[in-house]
Structure 1
């Protein structure tokens, strides 16, 4: 006598009739569609973030169109401006990507960062860090240091706020505290640079200003420092 299994008797197993024990069976097409949807789920940039990126590009375009790169000095000036602008944009973008949540607080912080980009735009037209020999250039450099100080101060507040709300996860407290502290130190350094004496002594700047007025030159014209000791002879020749 030959024994037959239940599948041979009924033509189908219990699993084929009522499905697997962990739930109803899914068609291969449905499973593939769900896996693809999960893989393609990517968070898109918000309009505010895109607008901030536009500010970055606009600042870079402005300084490129105003200052022509014709020698190594102007190239170095352009590279320095790009590095300062890019690192400021990068700090804000990294913070947004990791911790940004749509709220009134975040929008206020973003508005302050927009103000920072506006200050960058105001400095870009008179940016000449390697020729600080007139009041306009010195004012632009001091405005830049205050702008960077303000930007780092806002970033430090944001990092400390994130640290406060993430205090339930002890592993995140130390990295966030380090980020916030570094930003405060950077802001303090920029503030100290703002109130440092200019590279060119005030007496030399005043003499150059007097020479320009006597000769009828453009006040924004850069004069070599070597001409300052010769200023009495220049003025005498101009009067004759």
Structure 2
């Protein structure tokens, strides 16, 4: 839980008390600039809500010309309300702003991340390793890589360049895809020959092919039953 100043508090969401401006008739609600801290960054943000409905749902729009590939990524955009980015997921799960009894609440259910050469790599599992399918290698990231934890074995994910694998084990992924295991580790699975399978080449490839994902945020109470294979892959 993050301690916040003023009239905003956070329990999986932000909320702030609205009041009508004095003088004259108006159905516009405003909140004075509020000061609060998010992680290590302190800042103030004026929040103004003009004629919004009681509930505003996030929405992700994916646009692309042609077929999605390494070199032909889609564009992922969300809905911005007063500087707050709201996303949705392929199954309709979405971030939500609610206004009830003058209180504004923001509930985030969707995480967003960009994976590039600066993203810390946990492991490179090379072609020929028994832990990947024949003809593929994998770039691995632990669950703590991203600001918000990914739901275990998530397939309800948007990705701008790759498909999202529905396989239950990394060894079964025989496509160019994003794969997320039961311990919330994420793998980028690429065909052998995409680049040299060393850190320098992988970093260069990722800098030229930045990968964006929008994913379901794991519940804080989520626990995973790890089998030996998944645990080893996560900790490499």
TM-score range, shorter chain: under 0.3
Q: Which has the higher strand share?
A: 2
Relative to the length of structure 2, the TM-score reads 0.24
Find the structure with the greater CA-based Rg: 1
TM-score by length of 1: 0.23
Structure with greater helix share of residues = 1
